[in-house]
Amino acid sequence: MARRITVTTPQHDGYRMPAEFEKQKRIWMIWPERPDVWRSGAKPAQTAFAAVAAAVSRFEEVIMLASPAQYENCRLSLPEHIRVIEMTSNDAWVRDTGPTFLVNDKGGLRACDWKFNAWGGLTDGLYFPWDQDDMVARKIGELAEADSYRTENFVLEGGSIHTDGEGTVLTTEMCLLSPGRNPGMTKEDIETMLKSYLNCRKVLWLKDGIDPDETNGHIDDVACFVRPGEAACIYTEDRSNPFYRTSQDAYETLQSMTDAEGRRLKVHKVCCPEKPVVLPPGFETDTCSGSRKRQPGDICIASYLNFLIVNGGVIVPQYGDRNDGLALEQIGNMFPGRTAVGVQTREIVYGGGNIHCITQQQPASCLLKPTEESPAYGHSTH
């Protein structure tokens, strides 16, 4: 049985969060059904989730979690080779509710079970209650047979961080310093937590994300690491684009940054959709107490940067936009040796997220070769 660890930290125990571009074992997902988030009984969203799962399963194992009420529908909607496991949750954002997996250089696997409060709790969270979502990380950790570190007094979501696997973590001030998460902590306090629980040595802060009203500015819509010393960033020169200012600021900031190894970052540009994606006329979801209503015409957080890196591939959002092909080309060029696969994700964007938001990678075991005597970057020397 997997243990819950509360007396030590990953840094102390020699575990680190690997980069997304390192070898993976599987991808976890959660089947959508919440009627106040997903329109038309979640049927269009379920079609999009199934397409993402099928694309990922070309490269590695996928496990889909589904509620008791949706288990049969989910099972019949997915290819047989995709495993379905029954699990309750409040919604389908496993990047944020699932665990952040950790590895050491001896083949060990552990996880961070962050406290989850629906992106802001009672201050500016998106729904209430979130009690079942807060249990998802522990349940996945049990299924993965991974001991977990529970941060009972620290709120964090997986979409708010990216790491290069060599001691550097990327995040935004808009998100991690928001009043609904950890209001009693300073920026320095939060850096200490990230260093202790991700086993990193340097935190790079961008100022803003592009979704202040959804996740308070998750990093995974704006920037990520492509490989050590290299990052990708959304970019547009169209001043009328709603993400223009944030993309310009993020690109300029990243270009001036150095990582934990002292390397100045090489920054790759990823285009934005030519036309902003908005909720269409007649868009309607169920009205439920404890959640926020979306309105037709609302701008959606449609970013090509919200892709998922998998073994041998990159799964990329597509919107039926003129820039879809350009985004696939740009991302494919950033990842030589991986196949860029596009999936239509408008229905996922309508719900407030994208491919990266609905997936969570479980890394493969990381074993040092016998000739390698020093620990991997970011490992503790304790």
Catalytic position from the list 200, 271, 357, 366: 357
| Strand blocks (E) in the chain | 4-5, 24-30, 61-66, 83-86, 100-103, 109-115, 147-155, 162-163, 168-172, 202-206, 223-227, 230-235, 266-271, 308-310, 313-318, 339-344, 360-363
C-alpha distances in Å from residue 306, one per residue of 112, 190, 208, 315, 316: 22, 24, 16, 9, 7
* 233 given a catalytic annotation: no
Using the 8-state DSSP alphabet, how is residue 129 labeled?
-
Q: Is 290 left (phi over 0), alpha (psi -120 to 50) or beta?
A: left
Residues 16/104, Cβ–Cβ less than 8 Å: yes
Q: Is 252 helix (H, G, I), strand (E, B) or coil?
A: helix
Catalytically annotated residues: 357
